[in-house]
Amino acid sequence: MISTKWAKLIKSLQLKKYRKAEQQFIVEGEKAVLEVLASGWQVPAVFATERFLQQHAAAIQPAQLVQVCGSDELVKVGTFNSNDAALAVVAMPQWPAFHAKSEQWTLVLDNINDPGNLGTIIRIADWYGIRHILCSPDTADCYNPKVIAAAKGSFLRVQLHYLPLAEQLTNSKLPVYGAYLGGENVHQLQLSRHGGFIVLGNEANGISAELSQCISRKITIPAYGDAESLNVGIAAAIICDNLKRLTASR
């Protein structure tokens, strides 16, 4: 059974201000909880069904507290409509300060405010081996439960850094590619070097005027039909795939 104290904490961690104060967040579902338990991250508590605990007795050992509960309790305190496995309370990691490397691609998110889109982009970054994402302070919180759910286990392998983007890009010697509706065809880019920054703008308004001044090359995904635009997550995947392909072919 989940105590009133823990239920109150879990509920509070669904809000950014309490996540920030407690420096903790929640992970829900069998696969995600198992991944975080195996990651080496600090896990103060796991609440799980009897079936989950019996099947994964060895895996739950890293958790500081383990309590059995019913699936109805997991649904009541969590954000999933159904959860017959587990919920973990996880301590936020303390990432070192970001330093760009010449052979490294870095995604840059300018006010991406939809949690589902952010989670998808984290998963895409993980797929293409991109280990760092720079986020404007007004980008969605990466520990939002919806972000964690959409990212699957990729949030464990991709480091997100919230910082003033213009300052970071202005001081870098690496190329800065910005995704626009008009620009160089991403299928035909000529790359002078490996690595750089890939800037993706707000879902409705694109890249901000302030950050546009930092863009060294505007790139675009050519349209062959009549759709008005692409979802930012889909655009991120297409751009990453093409840049990786061009890099690999050199």
Structural domain boundaries enclosing 163 = 105-248
| pLDDT tens, position by position, 145-161 | 999 999 999 999 999 99
Same domain, 109 and 16: no
H-only helix segments in 60-214: 71-77, 115-127, 145-151, 165-170, 209-212
- The dihedral built from the CA positions of residue 113, 154, 243 and 215, taken in this order, carries a sign that is positive
Does residue 99 fall inside a structural domain? no
pLDDT at 146: 98
CATH number for the domain that contains residue 231: 3.40.1280.10
191/220 same-domain check: yes
Residues 50/68, Cβ–Cβ less than 8 Å = yes
Residue 204 pLDDT greater than 60, yes or no: yes
61, 91, 121: which is the final residue of a domain? 91
Same domain, 87 and 154: no
Looking at the structure of the chain, the number of domains it has is 2
What pLDDT score does 37 carry?
A: 98
Asked whether residue 79 falls in the same domain as residue 112, the answer is no
pLDDT of residue 100: 87
Q: Is the pLDDT of residue 72 over 70?
A: yes
* Inside any domain, residue 96: no
Predicted confidence (pLDDT) at residue 250 exceeds the cutoff of 70: no
Task: From 91, 121, 141, give the residue that closes a domain.
Answer: 91
Residue 244 pLDDT class (50, 70, 90 cuts): confident
The answer to whether residue 161 sits within a structural domain is yes
228 and 117, same domain (yes or no): yes
28 and 146 inside one domain: no
- What does the chain come to in residues? 250
* Burial (CB count <10 Å: 0-12, 13-18, 19+), residue 36: buried
The string of pLDDT tens digits covering residues 77-136 is 999 999 999 999 999 999 999 998 888 999 999 999 999 999 999 999 999 999 999 999
Same domain, yes or no, for 164 and 191? yes
97 located within any domain: no
pLDDT attached to residue 246: 77
User: In the predicted model, what is the mean pLDDT of the chain?
Assistant: 95
199 vs 227 pLDDT, higher one? 199
CATH code of residue 70 = 3.30.1330.30
Domain identity same for 213 and 113: yes
DSSP state, 116? H
Checking if the pLDDT of 249 tops 70, the result is no
Please tell me whether residues 84 and 111 are part of one structural domain. no
Out of 91, 121, 147, pick the residue that ends a domain: 91
Mean pLDDT across 155-170: 96
- Average pLDDT (206-212) is 95
Answer yes or no: is 125 within a domain: yes
Residue 53 is assigned to a structural domain of this protein = yes
- Cα separation of 117 and 233, whole Å? 6
Q: Count other C-beta atoms under 10 Å from residue 86's C-beta.
A: 31
Q: Which helix (H) or strand (E) holds 135?
A: strand 132-135
> Are residues 87 and 109 located together in one domain of the fold?
no
Q: With 70 as the cut, is the pLDDT of residue 44 above it?
A: yes
Mean pLDDT over 47-59 rounds to 97
Average pLDDT over residues 194-206: 92
Tell me the mean pLDDT in the region 183-198.
Answer: 87
| Average pLDDT of the segment spanning 52-76 | 97
| Predicted pLDDT of residue 103 | 82
